[in-house]
Chain A
Amino acid sequence: MTDNLSLQNQGTEKLLEFVNISKEFPGVKALSNVSFSVRGGRVCALMGENGAGKSTLLKILSGDIQPDEGCVRLNGKEQHFSSPYQSIRAGISVIYQERQLMNMLSVMENIFLDDLHENKFGFVQRSVLRKKTQELIDEFEMPFHPEDIVGHLSVAHQQMVEIMKAYRRDSDIIAFDEPTAPLTDKEINVLFNLIRKLKERGKIVLYVSHRMGEIFQITDDIVVLKDGQLVTTFKTSETTEQELVKAMVGRDIGDTYSNLVRNDKLGDVLLSVRNLENDAIHGISFDLRRGEILGLAGLVGAGRTEIARAIFGADPIKSGKIIFDGKEVHFKSPVDAIASGIALCPEDRKEQGLLLGQSIRTNISIPVLSKLLKGWFIDRRQEAELAEQAVKRYSIRTPSIEKKAGELSGGNQQKIILGRWTSSKMDTKLLILDEPTKGIDVGSKAEVYHIIMEYARQGIGIIFISSELTEVLNISDRIIVIHDGHITGELTREEATEEKVLALAMKEVEGVKL
């Protein structure tokens, strides 16, 4: 089979080369002298920590930005893209991490945005669009309809629309930037089957992801970048996870999880939730002790985030009881929750956590502004001190506390939020972490784990939400599994395995039709 295919493709085998690419942004050398090539019919992973230069490379490929030096060569021909339009014309599709969809438009309009199949009078042929979109949807095995409004789809389905958009162009080169982050296992399977199909057709696939499992599952070659330089390339079949991590981080970080110093003495009960109920969650009851890390596992959209938001007072509660720190509490808004010592690091770091356009200083001081008052005015010196402390304590890599949060890498952004909730002016007793390691690199992940463990040792109760199973299993003292807004099971650290958690995460809830 493969022999046949390679014979077929021999005459027209595609070749993508990056030649001596350098790119500098104000103050940062994003890429320096990066060269490598990918052949048709192979899936090439781009790996590296945040800030290594992967996204910059993809943006150069897509014509979004131009390299200072070097060029992209396609089948031996030098290309100088000055806009994404030219890159698409040349047969390149890049699917970015941030979805580029028009939420108010339908699926089919989004997919055929640049080619509306107008007839000779300039009218859009909706029936043709509908038919072609339906074919795509069938190929992707998706349950939605061509005329559905994209904004009403789940995040996972939106991501699939984004992929369809690139897929239908039949480009020779398709680059994926962390495509699986919002997807559930079902869509990931579909995606991987598609990638295999693309491979068989001799296409070139570039694949960026932080998830090791996927890399070993789907890719053929691995290119490792670090600080804008190409470290090394591997054949996926000839390397190991540890070797890869070492190349990415530049040092052997060993086994991330076994290095953690766990808290071994749990305190008394800090939080009791009884029969919590609203539109998204049903009959949620559990206890959390001081110093305990409680993992909330489940598929994306199972209701984990909604539980966190309900406890935090961000979403209304219909019925049920929350007893926190010995008292029954009724939070009307996050303000009340924060005042009693609860903190939430939201799932969507960029949209709900940080103010990207504001400085690190501002981002850290938001919840404690009233404690920084000197008379009527904010004491800027104290505010700056607070930020300096956080930068030092969590080794946030930044030249100054006046740097805007949006200009830092994902890992450093997460550390700012952690710094916000644990500054010396805060008295946080319960910390809810919703996907705290999403999109951040191995090195930063390990740092975040260490920080979490330190909190637990200080007696802070922690609710830890994550879609990465290995992470939940290794960090949590106890795991409760959520499915469709219900708790489907509880496992101790000792008894929890990936299989058990997954089985519970997909378990049918009695009396609930799925």
Chain B
Amino acid sequence: MNNNEKLKKFFRSKNSTLIILLAIMTLFFWIFSPNHSFLSIRNLTSIANSMTITAFFVIAEALLILMGELDLSPGYIGTASGALMASLLANTALPWFVVVVICLIFGICFGLLNGLLVNKFKFQSFIATLAVGSFVAKGFSYIVCNGKAVGIKNPAIVWIGTKKIASIFPVAIFFSIIAMVIYGIILAKTKFGNSIYICGANREASRLAGLKPKKVSYILFANSGMLGAIGGMLYAARLLSGNLDGTNSYAFPAITAAVLGGVTFGGGSGSIFGCFLGLLIISGFNNGLLIMGLSPYWINVASGLLLLLALSADYLANRRAGGGKIGKPRRLKLTRVEE
């Protein structure tokens, strides 16, 4: 493939749409924000900061969406893990890294419970994860915290949550960047990553071709619980307390970012880089409107419109290549030549 072809391929790809959108948005906010403050170091850090925790949830959702599932629970699992961490640090003498490992395992267990309900008891993932998240995990955070926030004083956790390098760059951001890179590589290059696309596209066909869709599904749900726990612990560490709302509301923005980033339900296409762009657009958009002084209520409306806009741009691009409806799995979008 020569450079010219590479360039062509890039412009036909989804990520190019997103990058163009990102560029237009940046230009707009740069021009119209007071004192062009949108691109100030301080503001960029603030955007990055707002992406840090969501990033984990975006990865979790993206992988499950590729598999054709949806997880509504990681936000609640995150809250429960953050609460558990705070309470273990406050009430036991366990060293901080042991507490972190316990909380990770705790998150994984919830994920496995989701996996069990979906794969063994054949629940719709929407229902199963709603139940596990909003009832079981949520209830658990109340029990652990005994109904009120628990403060965090452990110096290591406080450092992770609040330390800023050169007094502007939060340490936690590195965790998100590392996670994105690792998951990006796993998804694009490894056998496991490939099987997610394949199993998501057609479970039975993949099983008959020698893959293990059930195992993949279990791993992804467990992974979602684990990433939820990481997100929740970072959130608690940042706020210096394990509280009751924590990351509860993080699942939907994460799903939005993943879908905006080009991840399609039931396999087909989507990448972690795309998710990163999706997340960047959403976070930048919210931040931009905020510093322009728009009321937070209107920001919600505007975010919704942005999602619609991005999806229709994608839809139009796809239709040119013989596409179909918005949000439909890619495999239904084929132009069947003739049978």
Say if the beta carbon of A338 comes within 8 Å of chain B. Answer: yes
Q: Digitize A354-384: 1 where CB-to-B-CB distance is under 8 Å, 0 elsewhere.
A: 1111100010001101100100111000000
In the complex, what residues of A have CB within 8 A of residue B331's CB? Answer: 355-358, 406
Interface residues of B in 298-339 (CB under 8 A from A): 321-322, 329-339
CB contact between B190 and one of A54, A367, A376, A408 (< 8 Å): that residue: A376
In the complex, what residues of A have CB within 8 A of residue B202's CB? Answer: 351-352, 354-356
What's the interface size class on A, roughly?
Answer: 35 or more
In the complex, what residues of B have CB within 8 A of residue A370's CB? Answer: 191
Say if the beta carbon of A62 comes within 8 Å of chain B. Answer: no
Q: Is the CB of B194 within 8 A of A344?
A: no
Complex CA gap A480/B206 in Å reads 29
> Which residue of chain A lies nearest to B334 when distances are taken between CB atoms in the complex?
A406
In the complex, what residues of B have CB within 8 A of residue A19's CB? Answer: none
Say if the beta carbon of A67 comes within 8 Å of chain B. Answer: no
Say if the beta carbon of B211 comes within 8 Å of chain A. Answer: yes
Interface centre among B204, B206, B208, B330 (most CB of A within 10 A): B208
> Which residue of chain B lies nearest to A335 when distances are taken between CB atoms in the complex?
B210
Q: Is the CB of A28 within 8 A of B204?
A: no
In the complex, what residues of B have CB within 8 A of residue A439's CB? Answer: 339
Complex CA gap A358/B333 in Å reads 12
Q: Is the CB of B208 within 8 A of A334?
A: yes
In the complex, what residues of A have CB within 8 A of residue B332's CB? Answer: 357
Q: Is the CB of B337 within 8 A of A25?
A: yes
Known: A56-B338, A333-B212. A362 touches B190 (CB 8 A): no
CB contact between B209 and one of A97, A410, A420 (< 8 Å): that residue: A420
CB contact between A358 and one of B185, B201, B208, B335 (< 8 Å): that residue: B201
> Which residue of chain A lies nearest to B207 when distances are taken between CB atoms in the complex?
A334
In the complex, what residues of B have CB within 8 A of residue A356's CB? Answer: 201-202, 331, 334
Q: Is the CB of B335 within 8 A of A26?
A: yes
Q: Is the CB of A377 within 8 A of B189?
A: yes
Q: Is the CB of A377 within 8 A of B190?
A: yes
Interface residues of B in 188-205 (CB under 8 A from A): 189-191, 194-195, 197-198, 201-202, 204-205
Chain A's interface: helix, strand, loop or mixed, by majority?
A: mixed
Interface centre among A370, A373, A377 (most CB of B within 10 A): A377
Complex CA gap A28/B337 in Å reads 8
Known: A352-B204, A357-B330. A366 touches B211 (CB 8 A): yes
Q: Is the CB of B205 within 8 A of A357?
A: no
Interface residues of A in 271-308 (CB under 8 A from B): none
Say if the beta carbon of B225 comes within 8 Å of chain A. Answer: no
Interface centre among A52, A314, A335 (most CB of B within 10 A): A335
> Could you tell me the distance in whole angstroms from the C-beta of A2 to the nearest C-beta in chain B?
36
Q: Is the CB of A378 within 8 A of B334?
A: no
Complex CA gap A334/B202 in Å reads 15
Say if the beta carbon of B268 comes within 8 Å of chain A. Answer: yes
Say if the beta carbon of B267 comes within 8 Å of chain A. Answer: yes
Say if the beta carbon of A316 comes within 8 Å of chain B. Answer: no
Interface size on B, residues (CB 8 A): 34
Complex CA gap A30/B335 in Å reads 12
> Could you tell me the distance in whole angstroms from the C-beta of B213 to the nearest C-beta in chain A?
10
> Could you tell me the distance in whole angstroms from the C-beta of A183 to the nearest C-beta in chain B?
18
> Which residue of chain B lies nearest to A404 when distances are taken between CB atoms in the complex?
B334
Q: Is the CB of B194 within 8 A of A378?
A: yes
Complex CA gap A370/B191 in Å reads 7
CB contact between A409 and one of B191, B205, B339 (< 8 Å): that residue: B339
Say if the beta carbon of A51 comes within 8 Å of chain B. Answer: yes
Complex CA gap A339/B211 in Å reads 11
Q: Is the CB of B334 within 8 A of A357?
A: yes
Q: Digitize A408-428: 1 where CB-to-B-CB distance is under 8 Å, 0 elsewhere.
A: 111000000000100000000
Complex CA gap A53/B189 in Å reads 39
> Could you tell me the distance in whole angstroms from the C-beta of A433 to the nearest C-beta in chain B?
13
CB contact between B189 and one of A358, A378, A409 (< 8 Å): that residue: A378
> Which residue of chain A lies nearest to B269 when distances are taken between CB atoms in the complex?
A357
CB contact between B207 and one of A55, A314, A404, A407 (< 8 Å): that residue: A314
Interface residues of B in 178-235 (CB under 8 A from A): 185, 189-191, 194-195, 197-198, 201-202, 204-212
In the complex, what residues of B have CB within 8 A of residue A229's CB? Answer: none
In the complex, what residues of A have CB within 8 A of residue B207's CB? Answer: 314, 333-334
Q: Is the CB of A407 within 8 A of B335?
A: yes
CB contact between A352 and one of B205, B210, B337 (< 8 Å): that residue: B205
Complex CA gap A50/B339 in Å reads 5
> Which residue of chain B lies nearest to A355 when distances are taken between CB atoms in the complex?
B201
Q: Is the CB of B191 within 8 A of A373?
A: yes
Complex CA gap A30/B336 in Å reads 11
Say if the beta carbon of A489 comes within 8 Å of chain B. Answer: no
> Which residue of chain B lies nearest to A31 when distances are taken between CB atoms in the complex?
B338
Q: Is the CB of B205 within 8 A of A55?
A: no
Interface residues of A in 312-328 (CB under 8 A from B): 312, 314
> Which residue of chain B lies nearest to A420 when distances are taken between CB atoms in the complex?
B209
In the complex, what residues of A have CB within 8 A of residue B321's CB? Answer: 26
In the complex, what residues of B have CB within 8 A of residue A344's CB? Answer: 208
Q: Is the CB of A366 within 8 A of B189?
A: no
Complex CA gap A352/B207 in Å reads 9
> Could you tell me the distance in whole angstroms from the C-beta of B316 to the nearest C-beta in chain A?
16
In the complex, what residues of A have CB within 8 A of residue B336's CB? Answer: 406-407
Complex CA gap A50/B338 in Å reads 7
Complex CA gap A335/B214 in Å reads 12
In the complex, what residues of B have CB within 8 A of residue A353's CB? Answer: 205, 208
Interface residues of B in 108-143 (CB under 8 A from A): none
Q: Is the CB of A358 within 8 A of B190?
A: no
Say if the beta carbon of A41 comes within 8 Å of chain B. Answer: no
Complex CA gap A369/B190 in Å reads 9
Known: A314-B208, A355-B205. A410 touches B335 (CB 8 A): no
In the complex, what residues of B have CB within 8 A of residue A338's CB? Answer: 209-210
Known: A352-B205, A378-B189. A335 touches B338 (CB 8 A): no
14 A-B contact pairs sorted by A residue (CB < 8 Å): A314-B207, A335-B211, A335-B212, A346-B205, A351-B205, A355-B202, A357-B201, A357-B332, A357-B333, A358-B201, A367-B210, A369-B194, A369-B195, A378-B189
Closest 6 CB pairs of A and B: A357-B331, A377-B189, A338-B210, A367-B210, A406-B334, A366-B209
Residues of A that sit less than 8 Å from B by CB = 25-26, 28, 30, 50-56, 97, 312, 314, 333-335, 338-339, 344, 346, 351-358, 362, 366-367, 369-370, 373, 376-378, 404, 406-410, 420, 439
Q: Other than the known A51-B337, A358-B267, A378-B189, what 13 A-B pairs have Cβ atoms closer than 8 Å? A: A25-B322, A28-B337, A30-B337, A314-B207, A334-B207, A338-B210, A346-B205, A351-B205, A352-B204, A352-B205, A357-B332, A358-B198, A407-B337
